[in-house]
Amino acid sequence: MNEFVSFLVVGIVTGSIYAVTASGLVVTYNATGVFNFAHGSVGMFLAYIYWQFWQGWGWNPVLSLALVLLVVAPVFAVVVERVLMRPLYGSSLNTMIVVTLGLFLVLYGATSTIWDQTTSRNLPNWFASDQVDVLGVNLTYEELITAGCAAAVAVALWLLFKRTRMGVAMRAVVDDPSLASLTGARTNRISGFAWMIGFLLAGLAGILLAPGTGMSIQILSELVIFGYAAAIVGRLRSLPLTFLGAMILGVSESVAVGYVPASYLNDVTAILPMGLLIVALLLLPQGKLAAGRIVRLRPPRVASFKMTLVGGAVLVGGTVLLAALITGINLYSLGLALSIGLAALSLVLLSGYGGQVWLCQFTFLGLGSWAMTKVDGGSSILGVLAAIGLCAAAGGVLALPALRLRGLYMALATLAFAALMDSLFFTNPSVIPNGSMAVGRPDIFGMRFVTDRAFVVLIAIVFALCLIGVGALRRGPFGRRLVAMSDSQAACATVGMSLTMTKLAVFVLGGGLAGLAGALYGGMSRNVSFSQFSFVQSLVLFVGVTLAGITVLSGAVQAGVGLSFVPLIAQHIPSVSGFTYILFGAGIVAVGRNPYGIGLLYTYLDAWRATRRARSRAGGQMSGSPPASLDGTSLPRAVPSVG
């Protein structure tokens, strides 16, 4: 019994850290309507600043803590709110998600660059060995401080939201900003205050967690996943339920350490946060159908059959030419660019056309590579078909929660799936022995594609055919249903369109396309490791294709090229170890004002061409025959035309 009590008490301490970080998420979401996917990386970044003040520069630890939480965190929050978040209010969910993901990448890359990760760091405890007996369990002063911080945060937030005018105004702003402003509420100031509280709590959680992690940027960044689970238990609204979810998670993790066999412990502790998140998502009441929204910019024009045919031919021709000129790492990177571009094309179909936020595309690449190795020796066309079939089936299974989950909750479900696969599948020695696996290349009509040059051309041909196929799909009835579902699900239901069948079909198609990309990606690499399919890579891909233009086919090509060749550029800038993350994250700053990314250039180009044609016609009228009047008769030359 004493042993169980000890695990219970330790679990409450662990749950206190999760409660603090989850509270920051809830406060920000309640006041702004923006779910901050960068919450964990904010805590990680502030924890490193605290380490720098205390350990790096030798400042007083209490002074360092006060500076980080009361000066650095609020100032940082105000800058982020003014520059990044303020233009997002009223934007689509995709735009909000991708901008916060961009902030996550910037902070992840900046931290790994400023603080060299090859150097070990540790944040020591304030009190060396002092302990206090609580219910027969010896707890350190740090553990007591952690529990006390969680209790203080709970009381302070309850008083803020229930007993202060600012708290009531914060809740009112997210429900209806325009109506709240009519009552005298300063919405911008309230949103900024909410971000300050969110960043302060993120920093506090990161600092409380850091001493036991060895300052690992990955562990500190993933802290937000535990916060997701607890926040969803509270439905992003209720702070008491959020704290309950955090305590359930912390106690379950602690009890697992004591009673689960060591051989299964890592799997169980990995399942707990994702399992709680998935269960909480499935138990949520079904959301309302999304209505239409105001579009601030005209979307890019749909590509015609001629345009996609010419684009596919140019892609193949350009690949053949480049493959004849380059060798070595450059040729290898070209093959990866095409296979990753094919994965990005599935995001164009799913997210660009269908409006379904998927944050697990590299997970599907890994599944496709794995399936390729398991069929007919790993070098057969049957392996490619198995990769397509397995990922299409996985997409269909993932579509089941999508039938009732919408928007943000669907994004969280796909992220939970990616993180769960990282912990249970790709790191499992029975699945990928020694952390890597050899992937063969398909034998098609006797052609083995032994050389990299031949295989790169094959990938280009497959990619071009898929581009043409997805373009035809977009112009057809199914593509129009996808866009309609993305614009207004309520309107689609009103006219009798089956949202269930449409979602199921697009998830299966998107999953199969990603599986095909995975088989080709593995064949190009020949040997892949589990680290290549990390959920962080999925976030980078989603950000990259959004920046390139997630609603246009060319966005997939540009995203594949960017994700493959930017790391080559980064090799020439060794002083910036997180260059790739910083570059893609910084590029997303513009997405808040331009949700179509580089694809918006096509809209501007179409407008420029239309203007030139109109001027040409007008010039022809003025210099040629007299312009016609409204009733069809000719006007005298001296009378100017209305046009």
Question: Concatenated DSSP letters for 362-427?
Answer: HHHHHHHHHHHHHSGGG-BHHHHHHHHHHHHHHHHHHHHHHTT--THHHHHHHHHHHHHHIIIIIT
Rounded to a whole number of angstroms, the distance between the first and last alpha carbons of the chain is 90
In a domain, 642, yes or no: no
266 and 341 both lie in a single domain:
no
**Average of per-residue pLDDT across 228-244:** 85
153, 154, 155, 157: CA torsion to nearest 10: 80
265 and 316 both lie in a single domain:
no
In a domain, 123, yes or no: no
In a domain, 453, yes or no: yes
In a domain, 510, yes or no: yes
Domain that holds residue 83: 2-117+136-283
Check whether 156 has a pLDDT greater than 80. yes
| pLDDT tens track for 454-489 | 899 999 999 999 999 999 999 999 988 888 888 777
573 and 431 both lie in a single domain:
yes
Confidence band for 90, pLDDT divided at 50, 70 and 90: low
Cα gap 35→93, rounded to integer Å:
9
What are the angstrom distances between the C-alpha of 111 and each of 251, 413, 577, 600?
31, 27, 9, 32
pLDDT at 461: 94
What are the angstrom distances between the C-alpha of 131 and each of 431, 454, 523?
43, 67, 56
334 and 259 both lie in a single domain:
no
Q: Which residues contact 237 (CB under 8 A, 6 or more apart)?
A: 26, 30
Beta strands in 465-552 (DSSP E): 527-529
In 3D space, the residue among 387, 374, 381, 382 whose CA is nearest the CA of residue 438 turns out to be 374
In a domain, 598, yes or no: no
Q: Strand pairing partners for 443?
A: 380
Cα gap 90→595, rounded to integer Å:
12
Of the residues 592, 613, 638, the one at which a domain ends: 592
Cα gap 99→85, rounded to integer Å:
8
Around Cβ 165, how many Cβ atoms within 10 Å? 8
Number of domains in the chain: 2
Helix (H) or strand (E) holding 137: strand 137-140
Around Cβ 22, how many Cβ atoms within 10 Å? 32
32 and 92 both lie in a single domain:
yes
Joined tokens for residue 568: 């080559």
C-beta of residue 18 within 8 angstroms of C-beta of residue 227? yes
190 and 252 both lie in a single domain:
yes
275 and 380 both lie in a single domain:
no
Handedness of CA 262, 424, 439, 327 (dihedral sign): negative
152 and 14 both lie in a single domain:
yes
CATH number at 367 reads 1.10.3470
Q: Strand pairing partners for 140?
A: 131
In a domain, 122, yes or no: no
In a domain, 638, yes or no: no
Confidence band for 294, pLDDT divided at 50, 70 and 90: very low
Provide the residue type at 486 as one letter. Answer: S
251 and 309 both lie in a single domain:
no
553-578 burial by CB neighbour count: b if 16+ within 10 A, else e? bbbbbbbbbbbbebeeebeeeeebbb
Cα gap 474→447, rounded to integer Å:
33
Give φ, ψ of 140 to 5 degrees. Answer: -75, 165
Q: What angle do CA 312, 316, 322 make, to 5 degrees?
A: 140
217 and 354 both lie in a single domain:
no
pLDDT at 273: 80
Of the residues 546, 570, 592, the one at which a domain ends: 592
Check whether 311 has a pLDDT greater than 70. yes
Cα gap 482→590, rounded to integer Å:
26
Cα gap 201→72, rounded to integer Å:
12
| pLDDT tens track for 239-273 | 888 898 889 888 888 888 888 887 777 778 778 88
496 and 438 both lie in a single domain:
yes
Q: With a threshold of 0.95, does the pTM exceed it?
A: no
314 and 452 both lie in a single domain:
yes
| pLDDT tens track for 47-67 | 999 999 999 999 999 999 999
- When computed from its CA atoms, the radius of gyration of the chain, rounded to whole angstroms, is 27
Provide the residue type at 601 as one letter. Answer: L
Of the residues 592, 608, 628, the one at which a domain ends: 592
Helix (H) or strand (E) holding 132: strand 131-134
Name the residue with tokens 């707990």.
272
Check whether 494 has a pLDDT greater than 90. no
Check whether 212 has a pLDDT greater than 90. no
In a domain, 68, yes or no: yes
